[in-house]
Structure 1
Amino acid sequence: MTPTPIALIADDEPVLLEELRCLLQVAWPELQIVASASSGSEARRLLDHLQPDIAFLDIRMPGIDGLSLARLAPPQTRLVFVTAHAEHALEAFEHAAVDYLRKPLTPARLALTVQRLQTRLTQRPQEPDAGTVTGTDTGPRFLQAWIGNSLRLIELEQVAVLRSELRHTRVQSFDGTTLLLRTPLGELQQALDPELFWQVHRGTVVNARAIERVERREDGDLQLHLRAPGAVVPVSRSHRGRFKGM
């Protein structure tokens, strides 16, 4: 029988700490949350003492921040970062994080994290927790591109539309952020969930959740108005069938 996993949760905001505890109790009733910490220093002491299977760490905490704490965590502890700040994602995955949760947490997103953790816990202890900024066990989490000397990231679930530009792909997020990726759209599509990311034109893929409305033009053609600044996308004749009845 697999031992019941134990977990530590750490956040310097008591309300958010309790919210995480309650959400975890619903998403993973078998998980034993054996301790909570309100500072990085307290979390370090508890990590050393308890040697938990899992640690949910806020990144910005007094004493020791979550990323520094990750370098001191026991090697067998699976790490999940919980933060309101997206800019630390790259460094988090460099610490082999299982996941990177953005606040405010949602039950659906946490359920996916629980699934990933359960998968990792079935691995042999000597197996490293592979983690990169672009992917996880269930597919890519982020799209990334260098702009000058800065690496820019967009969470996949925040991508509204992907457009082919020769051998590159231009990505636009819900908030209007754009990235030009050096990966052809056809190659990116192989890693995307086809139930969520719909091809609507030979060179265009949209996130179904980004569709605000479907409009029929006077010439009979369809176009999509997306929940992203200025994003209007034509639908080719060969893909009209997807929108029957909408």
Structure 2
Amino acid sequence: MTTAIIAEDEDLPRKELRRMLSELWPELAIVAECEHGADALEAIHEHHPDIAFLDIRMPGMTGLDVANAVKGQCHAVFTTAYDSYAIEAFAAGAVDYLLKPVSHARLQEAIERLKARIASQQIAPDISHLMSELDKRLRQTAQERIRWISASVGDTIKMFAIEKILFFTSDEKYTRVVCSNDEAHIRKPLKEIMEGLDTEKFWQIHRGVVVRADAISRAHRDDMGRYTVELHGTNEKLKVSQAYAWRFKPM
């Protein structure tokens, strides 16, 4: 049985892709649907699918990050709404892409190529160069970065310069913003904040935790292989989920 996961942070495109796959490839088993890159990475480690349909642009851990973390473990098909760079970058044909909104004809082409690769037992190709090129183009078209976070505390507005923030944590309703000498809670979801952060400077290390990379002083690994990180400027220790442990593997 051929298996796959779908990673897409928007409900409607994710459900529509699953519907189209069930119609055009009924034998394909979708073993997981994921809203975030971290979820996709965990699903790949758990289910070992043959194929991963990955949205290129997801907040925090993008589809490119997921593919980079699991390269060679499954065939990747990227979905994107940005054909201006995708068509050129995918011209070599090492992997496939689907331009959103996905058409039946284009999906059928991708399915036929996937079936051929799987039937011939082709190993998922090394797409490091392709991912590097796509990532570079993504950054060139990225939206304006957040420079300040403002938080209302009673009748006071606290202002946090983005370069002073050590980490963000979230729960269902609030995002906690922490600096070395102050902190606050804001109502804006962490997912939305992440869309305006530079992912080279701010690393997601857990579904609800984002840290400033240059604030990390050390990472500790316990006997079970689980990591926690310590940051300059705070005594708090932050847990790293398995999905992001790859960031801390020794070079």
| TM-score of the two chains, using structure 2 as the length reference | 0.47
Specify which structure has the bigger relative contact order, considering alpha-carbon pairs within 8 angstroms and separated by 6 or more residues: 2
Q: Which has the higher helix share?
A: 2
